[in-house]
Amino acid sequence: MSQHIVFLDRDSVRTEVHRPSFKHTYKEYSNTLSDQVVSRLQHATIVIICKISLNEKMLAQLPKLKLIAIAATGYDCIDILACQRYGIAVINIRNYATHAVPEHVFMMVLALRRNLLLYRQDVEDGMWQKSEHFCFLGHSINDLFGSTIGIIGEGETGKGTAKIARAFGMHVLFSDHASPKKKNVKLTSFEQILIKSDVISLHCPLTTTTRDLIGINELRKMKRNVLLINTARGGLVNEEALIHALDEGLIAGAGFDVITNEPPTNDHPLLRVSRSNFILTPHIAWASDEALRILATQLISNIEAWVAGNQYNLIV
């Protein structure tokens, strides 16, 4: 049987993607709006998406669709229960950004911990040039050595973040949570993570139980010197609560690579936060050239394995 493959948001994967080896037809679109999904997938047996939403109403109109291949790890954009009802398999990408995401985490941690943005601005404003000394020490600088990082999520990016943290001489705590849990990882209660950590880094999926995982009550329990880093999913942190915490000095700073609505509208509240202790990047932590090449290879390997009858990286 020849498969008909449709890639709905090809431009979201900025690298070469080779075609599967089995017999197939192929169509790709640079991007797809929600009202275009059903018409573009009428004849598809396999769809490739990165962040396009597929809800039950759409899936009910696609009787030929048999496989959703996600060019990402997270699958919160898909109605998984509907896929189960309609017999649609779902596969995702795993363990491809194990260096890219942790490195992005520490790019933000170091910039915030050592006040990089303020010092860069000082040089641009001519403050160093006016200094009476060889250096201009206008802002606090803090080492990571000896501090504690709390990691929420002990998957591959969480463990990769822990590896870098230990190299800096940090104490590493992994947050306890509902099952499933990784073996051979010592877990600490979520409450103690909030209380003890100098840096908190999120590496968990967005689910009904993790949405608004961190709100104002959790932020109030944190140390005043804590840095909150989110490279996982928008929605894990209540954004209004985050802004309040930054304004009131409840936390020392935050670095976010994700927000609730992506891409954001111009009036998104986090876009209006103009503070030296807040860094917002446009969901790029995963997208190093090296990680993208791994993703593209695994994407097609996943599809080929499913067509051959093998269950590899299968969610449903």
Q: Please confirm whether the linkage preceding 282 is cis (ω < 30° from 0).
A: no
Judgement on whether residues 136 and 254 belong to the same structural domain of the protein? yes
pLDDT score of 185 more than 90:
no
| Residue 301: its H or E element | helix 289-307
**Do 252 and 156 fall within a single domain?**
yes
Indicate if 75 and 22 belong to the same structural domain.
yes
For the question of residue 218 being annotated catalytic, the response is: no
Q: In what order do the strands lie in the sheet with 46-49?
A: 24-28, 3-7, 46-49, 67-70, 89-91
How crowded is residue 33: how many other Cβ atoms within 10 Å of its Cβ? 10
Question: Is 80 domain-assigned?
Answer: yes
Cβ-contact 23, 3 below 8 angstroms: yes
104 and 27 share a domain?
Answer: no
Find the CATH number of the domain harbouring 16.
3.40.50.720
Q: Tell me the one-letter amino acid at 70.
A: I
Question: Which of 262, 275, 293, 304 is an active site residue?
Answer: 262
Asked if pLDDT for residue 122 goes beyond 90, the answer is yes
Contact 285, 157 (CB under 8 A): no
The answer to which of 100-104, 218-222, 226-230, 310-314 has the lowest mean pLDDT is 310-314
Structure tokens that stand for 250 in this block: 């409840």
3-state secondary structure of 293: helix
Does any domain span residue 44? yes
C-alpha angle 262/278/108, rounded to 5°? 85
Q: What is the pLDDT of residue 219?
A: 98
Residue of 283, 290, 293, 304 marked catalytic = 283
99 in catalytic set: no
Residue 198 in contact with residue 226, Cβ under 8 Å? yes
Amino acid 81 reads L
How far apart are alpha carbons 74 and 80 in whole angstroms?
12
Whether residues 114 and 150 fall in one domain: yes
Same domain, 250 and 153: yes
Catalytic site includes residue 283: yes
Nearest alpha-carbon partner for 115 in 237, 241, 279, 229: 279
**What burial class does residue 145 get, using C-beta atoms within 10 Å of its C-beta: 0-12 exposed, 13-18 middle, 19+ buried?**
exposed
- The one catalytic residue among 233, 240, 244, 290: 233
**Is 313 a domain residue?**
no
> What is the SS3 assignment for 278?
strand
Residues 121 and 193 in one domain: yes
- Buried b / exposed e over 230-260, threshold 16 CB at 10 Å, is bbbbbbbbbbebbbebbeeebbbbbbbbbbb
Could you tell me whether strands 199-202 and 187-188 are parallel, antiparallel, or unpaired per DSSP bridges? Answer: unpaired
Q: Are 184 and 271 members of one domain?
A: yes
Beta partners for 54? 78
Q: What is the pLDDT of residues 107-119, one digit of tens each?
A: 999 999 999 999 9
Pair 199, 258 in one domain: yes
SS3 82: helix
Residue 273 falls inside a structural domain: yes
Give yes or no: residues 262 and 141 share one domain.
yes
Specify whether the backbone of 313 is left (phi greater than 0), alpha (psi in -120 to 50) or beta. left
CA proximity to 148, closest of 126, 130, 166: 166
The domain of 263 spans 100-280
Residue 8 lies in a domain: yes
Read off the pLDDT of each residue in 253-266 and give the average, rounded to a whole number. Answer: 96
- What pLDDT sits at residue 312? 86
pLDDT tens string 128-154: 999 999 999 999 999 999 999 999 999
Domain for residue 235, yes or no?
yes
Residue 61 inside a domain? The answer is yes
Q: What is the dihedral of CA 119, 123, 126, 131, to 10 degrees?
A: 70
DSSP class of residue 10?
G
How many domains does the structure of the chain reveal?
A: 2
pLDDT at residue 55 is higher than 90: yes
Q: With the C-alpha atoms ordered 229, 232, 237, 238, is the resulting torsion angle positive or negative?
A: positive
Mean pLDDT, rounded, for 232-251: 97
Q: Is residue 285 part of a domain?
A: no
Residue with tokens 């705590």: 173
Q: Does 301 lie in the same domain as 228?
A: no
Element (H, E) at 77: none
Shared-domain flag, residues 216 and 255:
yes
